[in-house]
Amino acid sequence: MSTRCCAFNSCTNNATKITQWQKQICPIHNVNQVLASCICEPPFRLFPFPTTRNDDQLRKKWASIVNRKNGSENWEPKPDSRVCSEHFVDKRPTLQNPYPSLKLGYTPYKPIKSRTPPKHRSNSNVSPPSKQKRLVLEPISEHVSEQSLMFESASCMNDNSSVEEVCEQLGTSQNEKLDNSHNVATLQ
């Protein structure tokens, strides 16, 4: 029969040490710890791994925390495998601290938090809509005087004159007028 011992490689606590402690005389109560009713706690306790029938996920978590290898494969706890109380925050497994987390004998691996991967983009040749420049319209009064507007409207209404004649009267050429009207049409 094998001696029950703590499953952590770096830990030397085992059932033999508890037996030796029990045979000693308590320095506080001055009695034998096994035969008398000494209320002193042992230096550590050995806790069995959770069973596969009761909580298989917890058993696997404990085994991964123990971090032992069996050749190239992960170690599987046996029925008499134990973890001592020195590896638990509350000196025993509790609801708040169910996993061994102290004196592991190694630095636990903490995954590096990385940024989220970029979103999938389609490879279509459709380009995103381009941003159009906004046309800032200035008040007419800055460019055209009231008299020229009255003159233009009067000459267009009263007279059947051509565009060239009206442009000459306003002091602009027909090409400038057509270019301006074309630019206004494309912006709309």
The residues spanned by each domain of the chain are 1-108, 140-187
Q: State the angle between helix axes of 174-187 and 163-170 in degrees (0 to 180), rounded to the nearest 10.
A: 100
- Pairing between strand 69-70 and 73-74? antiparallel
Weakest-pLDDT range from 2-6, 86-90, 112-116, 173-177: 173-177
pLDDT band of 183, cuts 50, 70, 90 = very low
pLDDT one-digit tens code per residue, 83-103: 898 888 888 888 888 888 888
pLDDT one-digit tens code per residue, 137-157: 666 555 555 555 555 555 455
Helices (H) then strands (E): counts for the chain: 5, 4
The pLDDT value recorded for residue 129 is 64
